[in-house]
A and B are shown apart, each in its own frame.
Chain A
């Protein structure tokens, strides 16, 4: 059992009096993974934004890297956020900056990330090579496809090698082949860096890829966990959100065995 990286304690976030998430509690330790499933508007994105202090809880506490971020001022949150990376739902790339400038942004702007100027470009190129987009350095985000933008977003979220990485619907709106490629990149990132990973998705298949596959560094491919001597994926749990409430937390087997109408329907549908 490692150190607790993120902990939600009875967290409620409301907009104009309507709770978007209500009484949500969970925690994740270093090196673990969580897959948060849920229908649209069930509060999944709110959880990720609250985890980084982008949204303030109305009730409860959020502990990020052991610090209660609900009492911290915005200025004090930047040092904690520097230890985390996030892929936003539609990538949220800065549309007036080139791909290189986008990926370099956290290296140049996060105070805790001390990268000498001459190392920024190589680090950016390396991050883009990881997502197989090293040829797009000088392009603008609008010149890339949706899947490519998502991959740039993954590169930007991981370029500082953060301890915690949050992925908000990384496969939403993508064709199945591109979606699987994106998931393969996320698994690769998780297994190579042993980063604590939280992924929010509507697709059960995304969770299954996280649970059943590992990245084989020597073969440079994904392979089923447990095959070729690779161990099973440890510390992965599924969370299911329903109308702002956390209604399930457990392993993939427990999720599939659940008799709850909402959960089982959700799983079977995918």
Chain B
């Protein structure tokens, strides 16, 4: 009767098995530093253009939307604080993570999936390398290092976008905008803004690796794994965002 629950439960079980193996392997040698640096370049530097664009225009849109509402109360000068808080707490981490999921979870799943269906993963194991160490660990570490950095960059360019609107259209002074933004941000906003991308990085890299490594069939299987990796990681980003936000709101 409950047979329909078996596949999702099995998937979750296998995902946590992979997670457990990765955690156990984190301190183990070899560490493949070259692969970690390569992945940091692909995931971090490679994602920079999309993160800059999404971050900047998020700030622009945020300032434009808020200015309309704030004008009603004659509080346009509050644009800086509102843009800063919204970007650092929510928009920066979530939008950067979604951009990273679309780009990197898909990239990881398709790369590992192609390796799986062409027996390169088996060859790796036969030739003395643990795919968890060689493929999963570098991607996890690289994403965990780079996503918080990308989020900080997205937050900053978003505030720049807001600053552009505030000064050019809303005629605020530079000091009004930046002082307001700086004063509005509390310590826990920054903690929250950097903790979230760290958690999302774990989700994006592990979900990408998980679906890549369990790919079956040929090119169709690779396509399916890629789609699943993106969809699942984005859903988890939103779910975890709600949980983390709830925790910080309660604090």
Q: What is the interface of chain A, defined by CB distance below 8 A to chain B?
A: 49, 52, 54, 74-75, 78, 81-82, 84, 86, 88-90, 92-95, 105-106, 109-113, 156
Contact of A90 among B119, B125, B127, B129 (CB under 8 A): B119
* Alpha-carbon distance A111/B30, docked complex (angstroms): 10
Which of chain B's residues has its CB closest to A84's CB?
A: B126
* Alpha-carbon distance A53/B118, docked complex (angstroms): 18
Asked if A95 and B129 sit within 8 Å, CB to CB, the answer is no
B191 at the interface (CB under 8 A from A): no
* Alpha-carbon distance A110/B128, docked complex (angstroms): 5
Contact of B122 among A54, A74, A156 (CB under 8 A): A54
Which of chain A's residues has its CB closest to B126's CB?
A: A86
Residues from chain A with Cβ under 8 Å of B124 in the complex: 94
Asked if B122 and A88 sit within 8 Å, CB to CB, the answer is yes
Asked if A94 and B120 sit within 8 Å, CB to CB, the answer is yes
Residues from chain B with Cβ under 8 Å of A92 in the complex: 118-120, 122-123
* Alpha-carbon distance A52/B126, docked complex (angstroms): 7
Output the least CB separation between A154 and chain B (Å).
Answer: 13
Asked if B128 and A81 sit within 8 Å, CB to CB, the answer is yes
Per the CB 8 Å criterion, the residue count for chain B at the interface is 12
Residues from chain A with Cβ under 8 Å of B120 in the complex: 92-95
B189 at the interface (CB under 8 A from A): no
Residues from chain A with Cβ under 8 Å of B118 in the complex: 90, 92, 95
B90 at the interface (CB under 8 A from A): no
Asked if A54 and B128 sit within 8 Å, CB to CB, the answer is no
B130 at the interface (CB under 8 A from A): yes
Per-position binary interface string of chain B over residues 103-130, scored 1 when its CB falls under 8 Å from any chain A CB and 0 otherwise: 0000000000000001110111111111
* Alpha-carbon distance A74/B121, docked complex (angstroms): 14
What are 11 A-B pairs with beta-carbon distances under 8 A? Answer: A54-B125, A54-B126, A86-B123, A88-B122, A90-B118, A92-B119, A95-B120, A106-B127, A110-B127, A111-B128, A156-B127
Q: What is the interface of chain B, defined by CB distance below 8 A to chain A?
A: 118-120, 122-130
* Alpha-carbon distance A95/B111, docked complex (angstroms): 11
Asked if A74 and B126 sit within 8 Å, CB to CB, the answer is no
Interface centre among B118, B119, B128, B129 (most CB of A within 10 A): B128
Asked if B128 and A109 sit within 8 Å, CB to CB, the answer is yes
* Alpha-carbon distance A94/B129, docked complex (angstroms): 13
* Alpha-carbon distance A194/B120, docked complex (angstroms): 28
Which of chain B's residues has its CB closest to A88's CB?
A: B119
* Alpha-carbon distance A63/B118, docked complex (angstroms): 27
Which of chain B's residues has its CB closest to A156's CB?
A: B127
Asked if A89 and B119 sit within 8 Å, CB to CB, the answer is yes
Interface centre among B122, B124, B126 (most CB of A within 10 A): B126
Contact of B130 among A75, A84, A94, A106 (CB under 8 A): A75
Residues from chain A with Cβ under 8 Å of B129 in the complex: 105, 109
* Alpha-carbon distance A94/B118, docked complex (angstroms): 9
* Alpha-carbon distance A78/B126, docked complex (angstroms): 8
* Alpha-carbon distance A105/B126, docked complex (angstroms): 11
Residues from chain B with Cβ under 8 Å of A82 in the complex: 128
Output the least CB separation between B135 and chain A (Å).
Answer: 11
Contact of A106 among B119, B122, B128 (CB under 8 A): B128
Residues from chain A with Cβ under 8 Å of B125 in the complex: 52, 54, 74, 81
* Alpha-carbon distance A95/B127, docked complex (angstroms): 15
Residues from chain B with Cβ under 8 Å of A110 in the complex: 127-128
Residues from chain B with Cβ under 8 Å of A111 in the complex: 128
* Alpha-carbon distance A88/B128, docked complex (angstroms): 15
Which of chain B's residues has its CB closest to A49's CB?
A: B122
* Alpha-carbon distance A176/B36, docked complex (angstroms): 44
Output the least CB separation between B137 and chain A (Å).
Answer: 14
* Alpha-carbon distance A259/B37, docked complex (angstroms): 62
Which of chain B's residues has its CB closest to A74's CB?
A: B130
Chain A to chain B: the 8 pairs with minimum beta-carbon distance, closest first:
A110-B128, A92-B123, A92-B119, A106-B127, A88-B119, A109-B128, A109-B129, A86-B126
* Alpha-carbon distance A91/B228, docked complex (angstroms): 28
Residues from chain B with Cβ under 8 Å of A49 in the complex: 122
Asked if A88 and B123 sit within 8 Å, CB to CB, the answer is yes
* Alpha-carbon distance A158/B125, docked complex (angstroms): 16
Residues from chain A with Cβ under 8 Å of B126 in the complex: 52, 54, 81, 84, 86, 88
Output the least CB separation between B66 and chain A (Å).
Answer: 46
Output the least CB separation between B51 and chain A (Å).
Answer: 25
* Alpha-carbon distance A93/B119, docked complex (angstroms): 9
Asked if A94 and B123 sit within 8 Å, CB to CB, the answer is yes
* Alpha-carbon distance A169/B122, docked complex (angstroms): 16
Known: A52-B126, A54-B122, A105-B127. 8 other contacts (CB 8 A): A49-B122, A82-B128, A88-B122, A93-B123, A94-B123, A95-B118, A112-B128, A113-B128
Residues from chain A with Cβ under 8 Å of B119 in the complex: 88-90, 92
